[in-house]
Amino acid sequence: MTGNGLPLAGADGRLLLAVPSKGRMAEPALELCQAAGLRFETTERSLHVPCLNAPVDLLLVRPHDIPEYVQDGVVHLGITGANLIAETRADVLTMAELGFARCTLEAAVPDGAPQTTLADLDGLRVATAYPVSTEAVLGQLGVRAELVTVSGSVEAAPRLGLSDAIVDLVSTGSTASANGLRRIGRLLESEAVLIASREAMAERGALAERLELMFRSVVAGRRRRYLMMNAAESALPELREILPSMGAPSVLSLAEEGQIAIHAAVDVDEIWELLPRLKAAGASSLLVVPIERLVP
């Protein structure tokens, strides 16, 4: 056990995965584990949760603690935000981007302020809950600002006279706008990632890579849809030009003479543009279905 009463990654052959217990990453992280095929049961008081169908145990902890838990060998792997790795300066390996909890670390100033770029923060007081990341990025730009570390509502700092500007995480930007702030520059981008320690890869490399494959297959599946359609065989050349599929689409002959079925995996963001173009090119009976997992 560690000094916090948490289990150390042991020698029982099982993989210990740290998962956020609270915050906006908690629910999608558990959903990803389930979608990857892990079967487990959790309650509001769960901390250490064994998976019933795989040699994997989940450790539900604060997302801010996960980079250091992975670095220090408390767990083998962890799901956390890329921004938290930068903030803790944890020495970990990033194995996969997981496609949720996307956000950016951005600077903002009051609407009436003259500043328009990150360079304009030079000499100003900047409030942030992420002083390490902020100092590192501004330092790379040659900007010297007085950082005011806050842990509560960062957006209120200029109105309270604590700072001239702020640096905070932004997902939609609505919170900043509601507080009379205008964004002037992006410091870094972040999303949920799967991380590992070098020691874990040496001890549990094969098992860690298997879990990474399961996660990657779910993330890849979520980014695509399986598209099926019927068409006249004569329309195939034009339809193939339209389809941005993974490799060549599958083409099957139908019972009706001169008719074919076409199957392809396409990017989810392209569906809006694709369907009307395919229909205009002669496709019919178009069917779009989710992909549970995709292993390229």
pLDDT, mean over the chain: 92
The whole-number pLDDT of residue 11 equals 53
Tokens of 104: 């950016």
Q: Pairing between strand 125-128 and 77-81?
A: unpaired
pLDDT of 294 > 70? The answer is yes
Tokens of 190: 């972040």
Which residues share a beta bridge with 231? 260
Cβ-based neighbours of 274, under 8 Å, separated by 6 or more: 227, 242, 243, 244, 266
Q: Are 133 and 67 in contact (CB under 8 A)?
A: no
203 vs 165, higher pLDDT: 165
Least confident range of 41-45, 193-197, 287-291: 41-45
Backbone angles phi, psi at 38, to 5 degrees: -80, 135
Q: Are 225 and 271 in contact (CB under 8 A)?
A: yes
pLDDT of 242 > 80? The answer is yes
CA 269 to chain centre: 17
List pLDDT tens digits, range 103-119.
999 999 999 999 999 99
Residue 209: CB atoms within 10 Å: 13
Count CA atoms within 13 Å of residue 25 on its CB side: 27
CA separation for the pair 15, 123 (Å, rounded): 48
176 vs 215, higher pLDDT: 215
The whole-number pLDDT of residue 3 equals 46
Q: Are 204 and 11 in contact (CB under 8 A)?
A: no
The whole-number pLDDT of residue 246 equals 64
Taking residues 153-180, what's their average pLDDT?
87
List pLDDT tens digits, range 47-102.
999 999 999 999 999 999 999 999 999 999 999 999 999 999 999 999 999 999 99
Taking residues 263-272, what's their average pLDDT?
93
Which residues share a beta bridge with 104? 170, 189
pLDDT of 293 > 60? The answer is yes
List pLDDT tens digits, range 134-143.
999 999 999 9
pLDDT of 265 > 60? The answer is yes
The owner of tokens 């598209």 is 227
What radius of gyration, in Å, describes the C-alpha atoms of the chain? 24
Closest C-alpha to 183, from 86, 103, 101, 118 = 118
Q: Pairing between strand 181-190 and 77-81?
A: unpaired
pLDDT of 271 > 90? The answer is yes
Q: Are 126 and 146 in contact (CB under 8 A)?
A: yes
The whole-number pLDDT of residue 232 equals 97
pLDDT of 201 > 70? The answer is yes
